[in-house]
Amino acid sequence: MNAYEERGPRIEGFADRLIEVYVHRAGSEDTSLILGELEDSSENLMRDLGELVVTLAFRAANAMTVYDLTDPQRRLVPEKIDRLREQLEDATRRWTRELKEAANG
């Protein structure tokens, strides 16, 4: 087992928590607490922050594409297509509703 495989679950846990903060709009106070916990539990803060940034970047890219990022062939992932389609449909409904409300004053 390499060093990242040993630290990975811990870093991924911090990434999960940060994503939850922003998905639920909890704000900067929770972000500061989570980053403080990372700092307090770290043996090498620069390494851990770097790994956290890479983990978050991968998760962001993975969420925004219909491809399998880990596959060299970049195969399509039907579940990702369905999720993104549902998000687009929901956003379109909400946008249409907002436009109607704005037009009706």
Phi (first) and psi of residue 67, to 5 degrees: -100, 160
Q: How many domains is the chain built from?
A: 2
Whether residues 29 and 41 fall in one domain: yes
- Written as one string, the DSSP assignment of 47-95 is HHHHHHHHHHHHHHHHHT-SB-TT-TT--B-HHHHHHHHHHHHHHHHHH
Q: Between 27 and 102, where is the model more confident?
A: 102
DSSP 33: H
17 and 31 part of one domain: yes
40-75 pLDDT per residue, tens: 999 999 999 999 999 999 999 999 999 999 999 999
**36 shares its domain with 72:** no
What confidence tens digit (pLDDT) does each residue in 35-46 have?
Answer: 999 999 999 999
pLDDT digits (tens, 9 = 90+) for 5-26: 778 899 999 999 999 998 887 6
Mean pLDDT of 73-83: 95
Q: Residue 78 sits in which domain range?
A: 67-105
